Structure 1
Amino acid sequence: MKVINQVEFSQFIREFRQSMGLTQEQFAAFLGVTYPTINRWENGRTSPSPMALKLIEQKLNEISDRTSQLSQLYIRE
């Protein structure tokens, strides 16, 4: 999973979370990370580790029907 750039990744994370109807806290629990981590990703202050990117990709695959448009917009294979 390769993200185009930090700004687009921040937008992707926010839209991914919102498409699932989750708060940042709920999304953090869904991914198994902390709320501040999600907040930093969405605000472009940090980027996820390679392990976190892999987890996000796994979650995308699990719910691919709802997120296929988002992944096409933001993620290059």
Structure 2
Amino acid sequence: MNIKKPLAIKQPEVGKLIRELRLKTGLTQEQFAAVLGVTFPTVNRWENGRNQPSPIAMKQIEKILLEMDDRGQELLAKYSTP
């Protein structure tokens, strides 16, 4: 059985990754929250480092990154742990 390892992001960097991803996709915090099925304050807290996304939210964020062109791969490389 092949189990996919979850996206490993440097913890202090998660908020920066989310903000950069959101800006590269051209979405407001409200729009990005709607895509992920969370509230605007949740995205705001992630971006400001007050909370971390749940594992389910991280899977959705990873999916968005993988569906993007090279910009998504660049972000993955920039923020992923080796």
Q: TM-score range by the shorter chain?
A: 0.7 to 0.9
| Unaligned ranges ≥5, structure 1 | none
In the other structure, the counterpart of 1:63 is: 68
In the other structure, the counterpart of 1:23 is: 28
Higher RCO, 1 vs 2 (CA within 8 Å, ≥6 residues apart)? 1
Aligned residue pairs total: 76
What TM-score do you get using the length of structure 2 for normalisation? 0.83
Match for 1:32 among 25, 30, 37? Answer: 37
State the one-letter code of the partner of 2:11: N
RMSD: 1.4
In the other structure, the counterpart of 1:43 is: 48
Where does structure 1 differ by over 3 angstroms across 4 or more consecutive aligned residues? none
Percent sequence identity over aligned pairs = 53
More helix by share: 1
| Unaligned ranges ≥5, structure 2 | 1-6
Instruction: Establish whether residue 5 from structure 1 lines up as the match of residue 15 from structure 2.
Output: no
Larger Cα Rg: Structure 1 or Structure 2? Answer: 2
